[in-house]
Amino acid sequence: MLDGKRIAVILPAYNAERTLRQTYAEIPHDIVDDVILTDDASRDNTAAIARELGIHTLVHAKNRGYGGNQKTSYQEALARGADIVVMLHPDYQYTPRLVTAMASMIASEQYDAVLASRILGRGALAGGMPLYKYIANRGLTFTQNLLCGVKLSEFHSGYRAWSRQLLEGLPLLRLSEDFVFDNQMLAQAIFFGFRIGEISCPTKYFPEASSINFARSVTYGLGVLATSARFRLHRWGLVREPIYIDAPDMRLPHTAAQPIE
């Protein structure tokens, strides 16, 4: 707990048995009140290891995708009383040691969201990010900043912290169940006026760390550009983009998410 605010860490997991223990061990448990893992129908022992570690574990009966995993995880975190939710990938690509710093930025009530940027400092290339991914990241982020009217160093980090107010206020059920969910959610946060901060974060690329292949990367990149382009067109009133239209029934339920095996 920080400044009276309950902190939850969510771990959206798929085949994470090789890195889960190391990730969990470095979470700052002195300030984290709740750790939630949603296993997206993994083919390995991710769920069994999570339960062995004492993690509150949910399992999707069928694979829903990265976005679907996050929807379940955020819904569960809110139902369990979280005031601040930090999304941390259990593949150990991002250091769990920054959870305290990220949560503190929201607990201070200066930000509604915090992104751990691999681009600030020397984190990305020094950590082994392939050059083509670095160039694509920079190009996409530059374009997205122009279209969305912001100045972020990176739109593509998977290490993020959110306030309860933001998670309750966004129509997240309108978003994709796939990898573009991250960018759609960030675009929503920008559109609805939430305050977004960044922190420099080292990263590590190694065989056990999850990564989408080149074909999926291209699909993701096109989806990212479409998200930002439609953001601008919606702002200009030229299209009506559903993800930027709020509706109470498109927000996350306040009941516990209970996927079954």
Contact partners, residue 173, CB within 8 Å, separation at least 6:
71, 249, 250, 251, 252
State the average pLDDT over residues 19-48.
97
For every residue of 232-252, which 3-state class applies, written as one string?
HHHHCCCCCCHHHCCCHHHCC
| Confidence category of residue 128, pLDDT binned at 50, 70, 90 | confident
What φ, ψ does residue 75 adopt, rounded to 5°? -60, -45
pLDDT digits 0-9 by tens, 110-127: 999 999 999 887 767 777
Rounded distance, CA 126 to CA 9, Å?
A: 26
Q: Residues of 190-201 as b/e, b for ≥16 C-beta within 10 angstroms? A: bbeebebbbbeb
Regarding pTM above 0.85, the answer is yes
- DSSP H or E run through 226: helix 214-235
92: left (phi over 0), alpha (psi -120 to 50) or beta: left
Burial of 169 from C-beta contacts in 10 A (0-12 / 13-18 / 19+): middle
Asked if pLDDT for residue 212 goes beyond 90, the answer is no
Q: What was the pLDDT predicted at 218?
A: 85
Asked if pLDDT for residue 215 goes beyond 80, the answer is no
Asked if pLDDT for residue 261 goes beyond 60, the answer is no
pLDDT digits 0-9 by tens, 219-239: 899 999 999 999 999 999 999
| Range of lowest pLDDT (7-11, 105-109, 181-185, 206-210) | 206-210
Contact partners, residue 212, CB within 8 Å, separation at least 6:
179, 220
Domains recognised in the chain with CATH numbers:
7-246 (3.90.550.10)
Q: What was the pLDDT predicted at 60?
A: 97
Q: What was the pLDDT predicted at 210?
A: 59
Q: 28 by DSSP, 3-state: which?
A: coil
Q: What was the pLDDT predicted at 87?
A: 98
Q: What was the pLDDT predicted at 152?
A: 97
CA 3 to chain centre: 23
Q: Where are the alpha helices (DSSP H) in 11-160?
A: 20-25, 46-52, 66-79, 99-107, 123-126, 131-148
pLDDT digits 0-9 by tens, 41-95: 999 999 999 999 999 999 999 999 999 999 999 999 999 999 999 999 999 999 9
